[in-house]
Homo-oligomer: A and B are copies of this chain.
Amino acid sequence: MQPPDLNDKVSDLDRLCSQIKKAQDFSALELGIVNIRNLSELLRSSGWKVTVTLSRRDETTEITQIEPGDTSLRNFGMCFDIGTTTLTGQLVDLNKSNVLGTKTAYNKQATFGSDVITRIIYAREPDGLEKLHCAVTQEMNRMIQELISEHNVDLNDVTCVLCAGNTTMTHLLLRIDPTYIRKEPYVPTANFIPPVRATEAGIKINPRGLLYCVAGVASYVGGDVTSGVLSCGMNDAAATLNVLIDIGTNGEIVLGHKDYFISCAASAGPAFEGSGVSCGMRATKGAIQKVKISSKDFEPAYETIAKAKPRGICGSGYIDLIAEMLKSGIIDKDGKIKPIEHKRIRQSEMGREFVLVFKENADSGSDIVVNDADIDNLKRAKAAIYSALSCLLKHMGLDFDSVPKIFIAGGFGTSVEINNAVNIGLLPDVDRNKIIFVGNSSLSGAREMLLSFEAMEQAEEIARKMTYLELSTEPAYMDEYMAALFFPHTDLTKFPSVKL
């Protein structure tokens, strides 16, 4: 900037603003008094050379920070997928558009209830809402701290946080009373809350940094789904009618294309995220992600993430495991472990159990097993998802074959064996090329929005175009669900390619 002189006595702030306007046009500029308080000294001590970080908030452009010299290369953001069971956070270099690091952790809110309903109830306890709020923000702050210290980033250079979560998670993150989400007529306080300052939600980044929560649709279809639809490009002009299945604690399914989306939710539980099952774990180092079982001697072979000593089983591991146990005849169609005399099959407190890894070979120091109760959990989860998809399509007068692509999202691991997912009846028996695993699409969508205002606007449009189908009032749903409580299904004509 040109310094002032006796012929050019424009105030420091006006001088700065007109310089900013040269680089970036804005209609209204929100300055932030903290940025102005020492502006005069900052401009002079830096020789009138400063770096201004701008944020956009609706139609307003904000000055986030003003630093001496050229710091334009230091510009970072965080994106989060806030799941009921799992939190995932990424530190993103906003200049280079690349991910510097990723952290995942269980959502500590689980201490107060494993699903959204029990947490909504807990929020009414004295300090309940506060505890739920802090449980998630503390974990997020810990992730941010770890990531910035691992990547030598200054906290002040992290100027935005983008969060995708279901409606209850978004309420709890912002400390908004979620009570009426679960009471008829199931209306949330808000499906979309315009950006707030991250500190207002207890998230520690730059004190003026913004936090944006992706817009949701209804009490049981939140911003994580919107984000997933964006990430899969289902709203692209060229895209045909596709389906997205997000296999999380609350399984959400979306059907649609650029002109409309219809969504529903299925209470699947956290089993495919490795929670609520005896040896489950997230898809991280040491998780068994692939399993084969010999039909001859029931001896298993497995593969772990990062080829580490096995610590537990992640979602994709469970899919393989059940499919292989089914194929080798260890379990029946109902999912019960058969009373076979074998060193790996024994009685446990939770029915029979199958030992996948004996403790000598396990990093956990104890046997890695799967038991009747685990399999029952996984069965209910897959049945909830399959029957919801089936109902949604029926509601629209469609069948599985009318959908060109089925995107499968979720945190169960990166390398899911599609055939096995079909074999256990989690996914419908369609041309395998139609099924595309997209990993954590909620997180990828959030990252897109962190990097592009256009993506943000698209997501808001997706949320506006999406309607919600309440399955509990669909007469067919309960029948569909009951029928799906077998591996793969009661009605085998639905799974013609599956040979058991």
Convert A165-196 into 0s and 1s, putting 1 for each residue whose CB lies closer than 8 angstroms to a CB of B.
00000000011110110001111111111101
Contact A33 B196 (CB under 8 A): yes
What is the CB-to-nearest-CB distance from A175 to chain B, in angstroms, rounded to a whole number?
Answer: 6
The verdict on A190 contacting B60 (CB below 8 Å), with A175-B37, A184-B6, A200-B33 known, is no
Decide yes or no whether A28 CB sits under 8 A from chain B: yes
Decide yes or no whether A332 CB sits under 8 A from chain B: no
User: Closest chain B residue to A473 by CB distance?
Assistant: B6
Using Cβ atoms and an 8 Å threshold, which residues of chain B touch A189?
Answer: 11-13, 36, 39-40
Contact A11 B187 (CB under 8 A): yes
Most central of A44, A185, A189, A196 by chain B CB within 10 Å:
A189
Question: What size tier do the contact residues of chain A reach?
Answer: 35 or more
User: Closest chain B residue to A44 by CB distance?
Assistant: B180
Among B4, B187, B192, which residue has its beta carbon within 8 angstroms of that of A185? B4
Contact B201 A12 (CB under 8 A): no
Among B5, B28, B218, which residue has its beta carbon within 8 angstroms of that of A59? B28
- Rounded to whole angstroms, the CA-CA distance of A38 and B40 in the bound complex is 41
Contact B187 A9 (CB under 8 A): yes
Decide yes or no whether A479 CB sits under 8 A from chain B: no
A residues 332-376 in Cβ contact with B at 8 Å:
none
For the A-B complex with A12-B180, A37-B174 known, give 6 more contacts whose Cβ atoms are closer than 8 Å.
A9-B468, A13-B189, A13-B193, A14-B190, A37-B177, A40-B179
The 8 closest A-B pairs by CB, nearest first: A13-B190, A28-B58, A40-B189, A4-B187, A40-B180, A6-B185, A11-B191, A12-B189
Residue numbers of A with Cβ under 8 A of B are 4-6, 8-14, 27-31, 33, 36-41, 44, 58-60, 174-177, 179-180, 184-194, 196, 200-201, 218, 468
